[in-house]
Structure 1
Amino acid sequence: MASPRLRRLIMAASLPPLLATTMATLPTPANALSADVVISAVYGGGGNSGATIKNDFIELANLTGSPVNVSGWSVQYASAAGAVFQMTNLSGSIPANGRYLVQQAPGAGGTLSLPTPDATGSIPMSATSGVVALVTAQIPLVGCGTSCSTAPNVKDLVGYGATANVETLAAPGLTNTTAAARSGAMIDTDNNSVDFTSGVPKATNTAGTTVSADNPGGPTDPTPGSVRIHDIQGAGRISPIVGQNVTNVPGIVTAVRTTGNARGYWMQDPSADADPLTSEGIFVFMGSTSPSVVIGDSVLATGRVTEFRPATGSQALTELGGPISTIKLSSGNALPAAVPVAFPDAFTKSGALEAQPLEPSSYVLDWLEIHEGMRISVAQDTRLISPVNTEFDELWVTLKPAQNPTPRGGVIYKGYDDQNSGRLMILALNGAPAANVGSTLAGGTTGVLDYQSFGGYVLLATELGAITEGGLKRQKVLPPKKQGDLSVATYNVENLAANNPDEKFARLAEAVVDALGKPDILALEEIQDNNGTTNNGVVAADQTVAKFIAAIQTAGGPVYDWRSIDPNDGTDGGAPGGNIRQVFLFNPARVTFVDRPGGDANTATTVLRERPTSNQIYLSASPGRINPGSGAWSTSRKPLVGEFLYDGNKQLFVIANHFNSKGGDHPLTAAVQPPNRVTEVQRLQQAGEVRDFVQDLTTKSGGAARVVVLGDINDYQFSPVLQTLTDNGTLLKTLIDTLPVEERYSYVFDGNSQVLDHILISPSIKGYSYGVVHINAEFSDQDSDHDPQIIRILTGCNIDPLPARCLPGSPVVDQ
């Protein structure tokens, strides 16, 4: 699974409503997407009848964190049916995450002047339909017809109203009193109809000065409108007035975000209505514009009611978006009292949640929905069920301490129908100290309730209770009791590349030596090529592996040998340019790798018999890949198969895996329950390929083949994927199932201690000890986000009944 360190929470960055589903049915975008400067607003009704602003204008936005020089660029305008573009030259720079204002022709009316423009033209733009292009040259566009978005030097283009000269489809038609503004987080999809909405004209220059047609009088006319926050939120998940503009909605500012492209503030009405199902809080989304308000300000907010879905399949966050105008009335006001968190027993009901009435006394997701945007607090002491992610200041706690606890303080994820309803994600806005699973968060954590992509509902804590470390210890493997015992381990080393810091190699090496006890065979997942995510065609990983082997030797380990197969460039998923793959490390003093030539990225290894009637089998290529041409492995890691000899001449087949990631599955808080496990389809195909290969090993050997299937399967022990892979337990044994239920985990995600990594064995392996070595997933200071696992195949155990030392057990203890 993709590392949580690589993921970014999409923090209320408003995309257009239903963008994910809309884009699936639209034509292919016309041009390359602009990732730096885009057209952010156009207005052609300046000074016309009914208009407030005197001039037409074009506004640009810089989406990056660095200034962009636009000297030598131009903006150009053509009528909806015309082929002649009029040009206004640009100069100067657009500040980081800032705007740039181009003033155009005035009309005869209007009462409000634009802010000081950064460039001035005299083009009379149409109030209803037209075409605006941003061009990285000062040469008029000629002869591009209705395909000007793909013309040379065109950086961005907006066709609005009744024109065919567009990016994919036209933005809405405008009027004397409406402008087209880029929606949400200023994301460019090259589809004008998706990227732009019409609304109140609002213009901002490079100095950050904003003029809005809906607030010409500024704070001298502080009259609250008729709509309140609870009217916007309504008594369901979707606002009853979604898509409507609202004016001067009152509230007290309760939290502020001033970084990134999802800036804005939360506000709450201190005068609640009598309906317990309507939230009194809301997020005011301002894109890349930093709000000028602070906590405690009394404000009136004007904008458009929107529903933002931060991820495919997620619920929607009701917010104010579009052009925002804020009137500040006063400062230093008392904040509305925070509502104590009180979760009911059940997590959610089934079906489409947005079509069902809210039942907050019965379901956690409904309780959270009716408090969306409001101040809430965790009054009691709670237990951390994930380590603090100090990079993003995230942590998870449980409000139900007796619910499915692990022995080490976490919460075990037991099945799809038990999501652990006591979990709550907290994001500490003022930072959080490092702390491990099992630590205590003192009561008093208070903040606003938001909805984001990965964590779903999250408490954005403006006040964080004190954290007391719980004293969790890392684990290690005991020394073997007999010299002939064979140890085999699996470890996802999280995108290890030769250009990673030496410290990462040293710490991973110490884990191999001290925690895993120098395993005889070690299957590694997520070994990147020699230059990591530099995407330049390099696929070899010899430098990465050599550096790791050297670090292990320095830490006191053996001089490992290794085998792997380089993938084709860009075909195996993972971080772009990284070309991750599985690698076998093995101790040549303890085991022999049986090399047979012919294995490469595209050639399948097969199972062969020594003679037609013999049960003695071998691989056609070792190391080799399992059916790499199958569509099951599209943009995903292919299994690595190797043949080993140990304890004299005993044969062992090891299959190292890294199945398709779960990234893309709908979140646990999805709008439709149970969530759609989209990525499971491919993992089921992959499981079938590996199962069939193991079945071939088993059949052709007459059941004698010793097989270990291990690695990051990216799925749970109770999943259909594991049932398919093991043939419902008849072909392979799932060793995680031999542990007590509360100990079945190797990874922590969304506060759930769960299983993604596995070791599976054939029935021919009789005596063994097995365990998960908890050294990473529960700790803030991680070498990887996965815990390794190890099996020790015990000697002298191919007899029945098994001697006492051959009975399953765990070699793992606390350090």
Structure 2
Amino acid sequence: MRITSLLTATAAALLVAPIMAAAAPQQQARIHDVQGTTRVSPLAGQRVAGVPGVVTGVRGFGSSRGFWLQDPEPDADPRTSEGLFVFTGKQTPAVAVGDAVAVSGLVAEYYPTAEGETPETTPNQSVTELTEATWQATGKGSVPAEVLGADTVPAEFALLEGNIDKRELEPQRFALDYFESREGMLLRVEDVRVVAPTDAYRALWITSKPEQNANGRGGTTYTGYAEANAGRLKVESLSDAPFPAANVGDRLRGSTEGPLDYTRFGGYVLEAGRLGEHVPGGLQPETTRPQGRDELAVATYNVENLAPCADQAKFDRLAEGVVDRLATPDIVALEEVQDNSGPTDDGVVAAAQTLQRLTDAIVAAGGPRYQWRQIDPQNNADGGQPGGNIRVAFLFNPARVSFVDRPGGDATTPVHPVAHGQRIALSASPGRIDPANEAWRDSRKPLAGEFLFHDTPVIVVANHFNSKGGDQPLHGRLQPPARSSEEQRERQAQAVRVFVDEARAVNDEAAVVVLGDLNDYGFAPPLAALTTGGALVPLAGSLPPAERYSYVYEGNSQQLDHILAAPSITAEYDVVHINAEFADQASDHDPQVARLQF
């Protein structure tokens, strides 16, 4: 949705008295006058005339067409950008890079909004632009591109003091201020590393700070809320030429250059008129080792809205991942398994067809005949894609591990740990943890299963906590960004923690494993709720902080998937990177596996 806010009293006047507004005088201005020293133009809602500049980029596609203009005679104030976007709507502007023009138009602040947002309520920053524009050619010209080196962009990301819209920019201190002070200007990066793969929208992410929280496979890891990784920058192309299918660790050799834009999909973006040569880095999918005879291999894998309507290629890729990359774990907790009709909202909740196709594909890939256990949710009660009824499920290899089936588990009945002779057991297996708890509203309920491995009872809890939808972006005007979804995940973690504490009350040495897509970071409060007091050990803690990741978002490699185990368990842990870093992926998550000994 494209909504423009003028942010001045003139905006109201335009609505009430458009004839008077049209008659308002135009003032002469240069780009730095329009941009001003804050994020919001001091001339918003006013008409300007004869703004001079050289065209540095043209967007001739989509519904937000226009061109970027840069003043070849900058002022001495580092806060004022010398670049500006001229919005022409659905009309391709008749200009070319290198044209010198003088533009007249209405100064506006465009806030990119999501559904349900307005310019007043969106957390996103705005783009200062000229609308209703006319222009005259004055000749030809050129402007130099500013080069982003390793030390150009400040390492500190943003001023953490609420709405930063109208605060004076401090481009030498904060990364977001630096980029805002270059909004619309021609920027260039040289020989940069890709830190997020090419997506379906012809975009990738690079870093101008190659040493910043670098991990061993070429990415940039999000290691804490204070580590937003200021070197990240999104790159798109203004050309219709083929866009490279780049993986993490690849490089763009030579110059990548274009004007700087801002979108709600990632924040600041380099709209490249020139793209560096794509040089593959040779990144390969990983393979873990097989488990030994006395090791129980437990894995978690978010299979991203898996449904029977998916192409066979997706099932085959997932199966190859389980068999060859994960070395056929004994137990696999799956997340995002959809019902038999997939996203069709028809009341169907059973998922046997989905799981049958996956287990058949695993056999075809040379793996064992896995069995599965799961509980059908109530229709449209667990969130996710409408109609899909995603849920968590267990696959297990009956040649290696037994599942203890105990009746009583359904969508609404809570499961509890109980004593079974001298052993721990479940009141129902499989069973759902506290499904009536408000913490699980519109979210997946955890699935607990009782397994036997070498006659040792093992309680495994598969999870898929609520998503981060609704959280404010790192790149927004509200700092620090509110993480509204985190509160629900913390309540979910507390509900699972109660279950774990119940199990340890039955048997303090009980073998309990909690795993899945927890949709949060190892340093976040929901994980603390599970680990405080040593109730569970986060197995990712055995890795260096920069290597703890299973997902890549906006150029940040980050940890959303976890395996946690009771302290009595000896474990070897491995995140198996086969998806998130690659342009061609079977899922947007990497699986992980732990080999446990009791």
Both structures adopt the same fold (TM-score exceeding 0.5): yes
Asked if structure 1 preserves the Cα contact closer than 8 Å seen for 2:551 and 2:580, the reply is yes
- Residue 545 (structure 2) pairs with residue 741 (structure 1): yes
Asked if structure 1 preserves the Cα contact closer than 8 Å seen for 2:87 and 2:133, the reply is no
- Counterpart for residue 488 of structure 2: 682
- Residue 172 (structure 2) pairs with residue 376 (structure 1): no
| Alignment of structure 1 residues 323-722 onto 2, 5 Å | 324-329=132-137, 333-341=140-148, 342-352=152-162, 353-378=164-189, 380-389=190-199, 391-430=200-239, 431-480=242-291, 482-610=292-420, 616-647=423-454, 649-701=455-507, 703-722=508-527
Q: Which whole-Å CA distance do the structure 1 matches of 2:356 and 2:88 have between them?
A: 49
The 1:721/1:706 distance shift into structure 2, 3 A limit, reads same
The 1:17/1:304 distance shift into structure 2, 3 A limit, reads closer
- Counterpart for residue 264 of structure 1: 66
- Counterpart for residue 146 of structure 1: none
Asked if structure 2 preserves the Cα contact closer than 8 Å seen for 1:345 and 1:363, the reply is yes
The 1:172/1:601 distance shift into structure 2, 3 A limit, reads farther
Quote the offset at 1:684 in angstroms.
0.7
Q: Secondary structure at the match of 2:165?
A: helix
Over aligned residue pairs, what C-alpha RMSD do you find? 2.4
After superposition, give the CA deviation of every residue in 1:271-297 in whole Å (9 maximum; x if it has no partner): 323323211212233444444444344
After superposition, give the CA deviation of every residue in 1:645-678 in whole Å (9 maximum; x if it has no partner): 111x211111111111112222122223222112
Quote the offset at 1:382 in angstroms.
1.6
User: What is the TM-score with the length of structure 2 in the denominator?
Assistant: 0.91
Aligned AA (1:233): Q
Q: Which whole-Å CA distance do the structure 2 matches of 1:345 and 1:415 have between them?
A: 14
Quote the offset at 1:750 in angstroms.
1.7
Asked if structure 1 preserves the Cα contact closer than 8 Å seen for 2:5 and 2:108, the reply is no
Quote the offset at 1:785 in angstroms.
1.2
- Segment of structure 1 superposing worse, 563-572 or 650-659: 563-572
- Residue 54 (structure 2) pairs with residue 235 (structure 1): no
| Alignment of structure 1 residues 111-126 onto 2, 5 Å | none
After superposition, give the CA deviation of every residue in 1:428-467 in whole Å (9 maximum; x if it has no partner): 3334212221222213110010111131111111101112
Asked if structure 2 preserves the Cα contact closer than 8 Å seen for 1:345 and 1:421, the reply is yes
Q: Which runs of 5+ in 1 are unaligned?
A: 1-9, 19-160, 162-170, 179-198, 201-212, 215-222, 799-815
Asked if structure 1 preserves the Cα contact closer than 8 Å seen for 2:410 and 2:431, the reply is yes
Aligned AA (2:218): G
- Counterpart for residue 3 of structure 2: 14
- Counterpart for residue 118 of structure 2: none
After superposition, give the CA deviation of every residue in 1:750-803 in whole Å (9 maximum; x if it has no partner): 2111110000001222x2211101111112221111111101113xxx5xxxxx
- Counterpart for residue 218 of structure 1: none
Q: Which whole-Å CA distance do the structure 2 matches of 1:14 and 1:255 have between them?
A: 22
Q: Which whole-Å CA distance do the structure 2 matches of 1:574 and 1:286 have between them?
A: 37
Aligned AA (2:87): F
The 1:250/1:534 distance shift into structure 2, 3 A limit, reads farther
Aligned AA (2:462): A
Aligned AA (1:412): T
Q: Secondary structure at the match of 1:475?
A: coil
User: What is the TM-score with the length of structure 1 in the denominator?
Assistant: 0.68
The 1:723/1:559 distance shift into structure 2, 3 A limit, reads same
Q: Which whole-Å CA distance do the structure 2 matches of 1:570 and 1:252 have between them?
A: 54
Quote the offset at 1:224 in angstroms.
9.0
Alignment: residue pair count: 580
Q: Which whole-Å CA distance do the structure 2 matches of 1:623 and 1:383 have between them?
A: 46
Q: Which whole-Å CA distance do the structure 2 matches of 1:598 and 1:780 have between them?
A: 44
Q: Which whole-Å CA distance do the structure 1 matches of 2:110 and 2:263 have between them?
A: 12
Quote the offset at 1:355 in angstroms.
4.4
Quote the offset at 1:689 in angstroms.
0.8
- Counterpart for residue 806 of structure 1: none
Q: Which whole-Å CA distance do the structure 1 matches of 2:349 and 2:107 have between them?
A: 49
- Counterpart for residue 195 of structure 1: none
Q: Which runs of 5+ in 2 are unaligned?
A: 115-121
Q: Which whole-Å CA distance do the structure 2 matches of 1:685 and 1:279 have between them?
A: 45
Q: Which whole-Å CA distance do the structure 1 matches of 2:404 and 2:425 have between them?
A: 9
- Counterpart for residue 808 of structure 1: none
Aligned AA (1:474): P
Q: Which whole-Å CA distance do the structure 2 matches of 1:354 and 1:304 have between them?
A: 16
Aligned AA (2:298): V
The 1:428/1:284 distance shift into structure 2, 3 A limit, reads same
Asked if structure 2 preserves the Cα contact closer than 8 Å seen for 1:687 and 1:721, the reply is yes
The 1:538/1:397 distance shift into structure 2, 3 A limit, reads same
Q: Secondary structure at the match of 2:376?
A: coil
Aligned AA (1:276): P
Asked if structure 2 preserves the Cα contact closer than 8 Å seen for 1:239 and 1:307, the reply is no
- Residue 586 (structure 2) pairs with residue 779 (structure 1): no
Quote the offset at 1:330 in angstroms.
5.5
- Counterpart for residue 750 of structure 1: 554
Q: Which whole-Å CA distance do the structure 2 matches of 1:240 and 1:679 have between them?
A: 35
- Counterpart for residue 770 of structure 1: 573
Asked if structure 2 preserves the Cα contact closer than 8 Å seen for 1:14 and 1:285, the reply is no
Aligned AA (1:376): L
Q: Which whole-Å CA distance do the structure 1 matches of 2:244 and 2:41 have between them?
A: 37
The 1:248/1:615 distance shift into structure 2, 3 A limit, reads farther
Higher relative contact order (CA 8 A, sep 6+): 2
Aligned AA (1:779): F
Q: Which whole-Å CA distance do the structure 1 matches of 2:130 and 2:533 have between them?
A: 52
Asked if structure 1 preserves the Cα contact closer than 8 Å seen for 2:237 and 2:272, the reply is yes
After superposition, give the CA deviation of every residue in 1:452-509 in whole Å (9 maximum; x if it has no partner): 11311111111011121111121111123x3232111000111111111111111110
Quote the offset at 1:630 in angstroms.
1.4
- Counterpart for residue 303 of structure 1: 106
Q: Secondary structure at the match of 1:477?
A: coil
Q: Which whole-Å CA distance do the structure 1 matches of 2:123 and 2:198 have between them?
A: 27
Q: Which whole-Å CA distance do the structure 1 matches of 2:593 and 2:524 have between them?
A: 21
Aligned AA (1:444): S
- Counterpart for residue 760 of structure 1: 564
Q: Secondary structure at the match of 2:353?
A: helix
Aligned AA (2:529): T
Quote the offset at 1:14 in angstroms.
3.3
After superposition, give the CA deviation of every residue in 1:156-184 in whole Å (9 maximum; x if it has no partner): xxxxx9xxxxxxxxx94345x26xxxxxx
- Counterpart for residue 48 of structure 2: 246
- Counterpart for residue 149 of structure 1: none
- Counterpart for residue 71 of structure 1: none
Quote the offset at 1:270 in angstroms.
2.7
| Alignment of structure 1 residues 121-160 onto 2, 5 Å | none
Aligned AA (1:640): L
Quote the offset at 1:238 in angstroms.
1.4
Aligned AA (1:696): E
Asked if structure 2 preserves the Cα contact closer than 8 Å seen for 1:246 and 1:305, the reply is no
Identity of aligned residues (%): 51
Q: Which whole-Å CA distance do the structure 2 matches of 1:564 and 1:247 have between them?
A: 66
Q: Which whole-Å CA distance do the structure 2 matches of 1:577 and 1:286 have between them?
A: 39
Q: Which whole-Å CA distance do the structure 1 matches of 2:237 and 2:340 have between them?
A: 37
After superposition, give the CA deviation of every residue in 1:388-436 in whole Å (9 maximum; x if it has no partner): 22x2222222222222211111122211111122222211333421222
